Structure 1
């Protein structure tokens, strides 16, 4: 519940940093001990990274693919929305 409130207030990247410090074992299990994928996820796909950490430790099956697809859509929409806003300002 606290992570959800942080997500609403600070955004996905802040939640990634805080959650990484609070539960490093969860991140290690989700990404197999690699640091490259979480860092790339932090920079490029923060919503997808958060959702992957939520669903990956139990194995990705069934409805988990839908959650990951929705998170990926949110990331793509946020990138596309920024480009539209930049074009309007120019």
Structure 2
């Protein structure tokens, strides 16, 4: 079941984070003090937020490798934003760059 969730989270990080938030609210509540940061994470950096919630250790926080994976996931999120911005030019009828 864990491998299936990992595959699912890699493909649909927003939905996976939402499922974790619904199924295990204690994980998200331990990682964040308010509901606003996870909501912003779902919207803008879903994979990094999901990694932060999964790797967060209550009372300790994140250690060195945990931060590495969160930063790596954040870079993947930014790469996704950049790739989607360049793909818009391929849409028929989209105005050409000047």
Separation in 2 of the partners of 1:77 and 1:50?
A: 16
Q: TM-score, normalised by structure 2?
A: 0.81
- Residue 76 of structure 1 corresponds to 78
- Residue 65 of structure 1 corresponds to 67
Q: Larger helix proportion, structure 1 or 2? A: 1
Root mean square deviation of aligned Cα: 1.5
Does the alignment pair 1:47 with 2:13?
Answer: no
Q: CA deviation at 1:6?
A: 2.6
Does the alignment pair 1:14 with 2:15?
Answer: yes
Structure 2: runs of 5 or more not aligned: none
Separation in 1 of the partners of 2:52 and 2:41?
A: 10
Q: TM-score, normalised by structure 1?
A: 0.87
Specify the structure having the higher radius of gyration (Cα): 2
- Per-residue CA distance 1:18-77 (angstroms, 9 max, x = gap): 111110001100102x00000000000000100110122252111112101110011001
- Residue 35 of structure 1 corresponds to 35
SS at match of 1:63: helix
* Structure 1 residue runs of 4 or more that deviate by more than 4 Å after TM superposition: none
Separation in 2 of the partners of 1:60 and 1:76?
A: 21
Size of the alignment, in residue pairs?
88
